[in-house]
Amino acid sequence: MAYYLILGVMFISVTCVNSQEIEWERVSGGISISYLQPNGDMGKYWNNSFGLGGELKYELSKRTYLATGIQFSSFSKNNIKKSVPNFYFISIPLEIKFIFLIANGLHLSTGGGIQSNTFMFLGPEAEKLDDNDTESEFGIFIALGIETISFNEHTLEFYSKYQTIFSSPEQIGILFIGMRFFFF
């Protein structure tokens, strides 16, 4: 997982730099909070969850951004099936994002990308996995949001994102609804 984080940050650091120097004034960072609603088996046997994370984005051009971050969630089982474990869910997205002005100070944002998803299974139910109690899998996502610039040029964004994780025997889908606040 750490590799993907490093790679993601490195990718941002270099992809956008045409002059071969990082223009730090184009980098923004902040925090995010979101509500996660999975479907399929994950929605059936686990409760919905909240996620908390850190965000980074780089302005490629006036309307184009490259974004990454890390988000942490904890999923608890709903006791329909007792043999399933609770787990931590850590996601690291890499997103290309486009914004469009729809009203004064209000932007529509849309984008998509790939996401690394790590599942850390917990408790005695996870013991039958032996050493494989932490597994990562990729997913792809599309996102849509509304951005407003306020609070001394800081950006507040309300967004929704749907991602599909390439698991087997069927893919997992998760709907994220949340808020991002970029304060630098």
Partner 1 sequence: MKMKLKIFFLIVIALTSNSICQFSKINETFGMRMGSTLSHSIKYQEYRSTRFLPVVNNFNLNRWVSSKTTYIFNDLPVNVSLLNMSSLDLLPANLITNEITDTYDSDLRFQSGHSIGISSITIPDEFSISFRGYLGSQTGDQLIHFFTRDNTETTNINKIPPSGAISISNSNNKWGYRLTAGYYGFFSTGSENDRIISNTNNYYFNKLNKQILTSGNIFYQFKNNEILSLDFNFMSYYGWDIPPFITSFVHLENYFHRFQLSLKNLFGNLNLYLKKDESQGMINPGSGILPSKFLQTEYSFYSLWNLDLSESDKLEISGDINLYKFKNLSYKDDNPFQNFFNEDKDFINYGIASKYVHSFTNTFQSTLNLRYTKQNLLNTISGSIEIKEKIFKNTLLNFSAESYSYVPNVTELYGNFTRTDLIFSVRGNSSLKFSRSNKISLDLSYISEFSGLSVLQINPFFELIQNPIDQNTLQSIRTENTGEILRDAQYVNGSNQKLFGSYFLINAVFNKNIVVQSECQIADNKEVEYIPKFKSRLDIILSLSKYGNIAASWFYRTKSYWSEFTVSKENDFYLETGFDGLLPQISVVSLYYDFTLKPFYIFNILHFKISLENVFNSTQKYLPIGNSLNRTFVFAIAGEL
| The two structure tokens encoding residue 156 | 């507040």
Per CB under 8 A, the list member of 17, 31, 146, 149 interacting with partner 1 is: 17
Q: Is 168 helix (H, G, I), strand (E, B) or coil?
A: coil
Contact call for residue 67 and partner 1 (CB under 8 A):
no
Contact call for residue 59 and partner 1 (CB under 8 A):
no
Which residue, 40 or 54, is less far from partner 1 as judged by CB?
40
Contact call for residue 129 and partner 1 (CB under 8 A):
yes
User: Phi and psi for 104 in degrees, rounded to 5?
Assistant: -60, 115
Which residue, 42 or 56, is less far from partner 1 as judged by CB?
42
Per CB under 8 A, the list member of 35, 37, 39, 41 interacting with partner 1 is: 41
Instruction: State how far Cα 159 lies from the chain centre.
Output: 11
Cα distances (angstroms) measured from residue 43 to each of 47, 80, 118: 7, 11, 17
Contact range with partner 1 by CB under 8 A, out of 98-106, 143-151, 155-163, 165-173 = 165-173
Contact range with partner 1 by CB under 8 A, out of 51-59, 104-112, 149-157, 168-176 = 168-176
Residue pair 90/71 in contact (Cβ under 8 Å)? The answer is yes
Shortest distance, CB of residue 125 to partner 1, whole angstroms?
A: 7
Which residue, 32 or 116, is less far from partner 1 as judged by CB?
116
Cα separation of 97 and 17, whole Å?
17
Per CB under 8 A, the list member of 1, 160, 167, 179 interacting with partner 1 is: 167
Cα separation of 17 and 60, whole Å?
8
Got the DSSP string for 53-103?
EEEEEEESSSSEEEEEEEEEEEE-B-SSSTTPPPEEEEEEEEEEEEEEEEE
Positions touching partner 1 (CB under 8 A) are 3-4, 7, 10-11, 14-15, 17-18, 20-21, 41-42, 44-46, 60, 81, 83-85, 87, 114, 119, 121, 125, 129-132, 135-138, 165-170, 172
